[in-house]
Amino acid sequence: MREAGRITGEALALAGEAVKPGITTKMLDDLIRHHIERSGAKPSFLGYGGFPASACISVNEQVIHGIPSRKVILQEGDIVKIDVGAFYKGYHGDSARTFAVGNISEEAARLIDITEQCFWAGFREVRPDARVGDIGHAVETLAKSAGYGVVRKYVGHGVGQNLHESPDVPNYGTQGRGVRLCQGMTIAIEPMICVGSGEVNELSDGWTVVTADKTLSAHYEHTVALTENGVEALTKID
């Protein structure tokens, strides 16, 4: 899991460094696939449920599951969400971040910052005998205090030998409720936060999820492990 997480995090960081006005989302996807395969792993998303690319790349009001394309050219002021998974020796890593394309608005920068803060608020609740609801409550409380909406239709999840496993890890919840966390669990915590309501729609391509009110959204995710030595973000690259 650590190795899968490392490869995932490296691929995501590499793509993030390449984000700039004029690059296509397909070019970013190619960079990601090349790094993952060069590392001896396979892109987790490629072919998953029929998904046609190695990463989900979503721009502005697109929340998740955007399909990389030569026709999608990043523009100054955009924000782009890149979601990456790598499958290595039987285990998956899963991680996402939102990147600025050139100079972005103060509103967009604040959204990206708060979304990352939401992840770490959830992360701090992870410990043996805590509950999944503790994570979601922390994420939702911070997002709402900042005036943002939380996507409720899509959630975090367990991750390991399968890309998506139990338990679901929603970005909302009640403290002290939900599945109990225990040592040995590996979960993906992934706040999806919006300037607007958090309501979403799926486009006709069967994949891309957008905010219903067309407001900006941001996404931040790490694969998190509860180990005998504490809690680790396996996909975080220092």
For the residues 104-111, what does the mean pLDDT come to? 98
Number of H helices and E strands in the chain, helices first, is: 4, 15
Q: Chain-centre distance of CA 192, in angstroms?
A: 8
For the residues 109-127, what does the mean pLDDT come to? 98
**Residue 238 above 90 pLDDT?**
no
pLDDT of residue 222: 98
Taking only the tens place, the pLDDT of each residue in 141-191 is 999 999 999 999 999 999 999 999 999 999 999 999 999 999 999 999 999
3-class SS of residue 60: coil
Confidence band (pLDDT; 50, 70, 90) for 115? very high
Exposed/middle/buried for 214, CB within 10 Å: 0-12, 13-18, 19+?
Answer: exposed
Instruction: Count CA atoms within 13 Å of residue 129 on its CB side.
Output: 0
Sorted by where each begins, the domain ranges of the chain are: 2-233
Instruction: Give the H or E element holding residue 181.
Output: none
Tokens for 81, please give them. Answer: 């969400």
pLDDT of residue 221: 98
Length of the chain: 238
For 114-147, the three-class secondary structure string (H helix, E strand, C coil) is: HHHHHHHHHHCCCCCCCEHHHHHHHHHHHHHHCC
Cα–Cα dist 34/128, whole Å: 37
Nearest to 79 by CA among 45, 48, 113: 113
Tokens for 103, please give them. Answer: 């100079």
Exposed/middle/buried for 135, CB within 10 Å: 0-12, 13-18, 19+?
Answer: buried
For the residues 94-117, what does the mean pLDDT come to? 98
Confidence band (pLDDT; 50, 70, 90) for 205? very high
Mean pLDDT across the chain: 98
- CATH ID of 2-233, from 3.30.499.10, 3.40.1160.10, 3.90.230.10, 2.40.160.20: 3.90.230.10
pTM value > 0.85? yes
Taking only the tens place, the pLDDT of each residue in 35-64 is 999 999 999 999 999 999 999 999 999 999
Cα–Cα dist 78/82, whole Å: 13
